[in-house]
Amino acid sequence: MSEAERDAGNRKVKVGLLLLVTVSPPLVALQWGPTTEELFAALVGGFLLGLVVVWYLGRLAAEFKAGSRRPGRRR
């Protein structure tokens, strides 16, 4: 797998995770009949939460990636 393919795959995972976390709060809010403003607030809150989750997991993955660059690494 080339570096470009790996980056493209990581980008797709990040976008998918962001989308999942973004739409979850509005879908939960729909159970209680929210107003338009409440639904929009849930969407914005979910988006912000999604950004934090993607950022955190990106930092965590970078730590693992940096630690795996040892000489003589097996494939």
- pLDDT per position as a tens digit, 1-20: 888 898 899 999 999 999 99
Three-state DSSP class for residue 34: coil
Residues 6+ apart with CB under 8 A from 30: 39
pLDDT for 19-74, tens place per residue?
Answer: 999 999 999 999 999 999 999 999 999 999 999 999 999 999 888 877 666 555 55
The domain segmentation of the chain, as residue ranges, is 3-67
The rounded distance, in Å, linking the Cα atoms of 16 and 11 is 9
Is residue 75's pLDDT more than 80? no
pLDDT for 50:
96
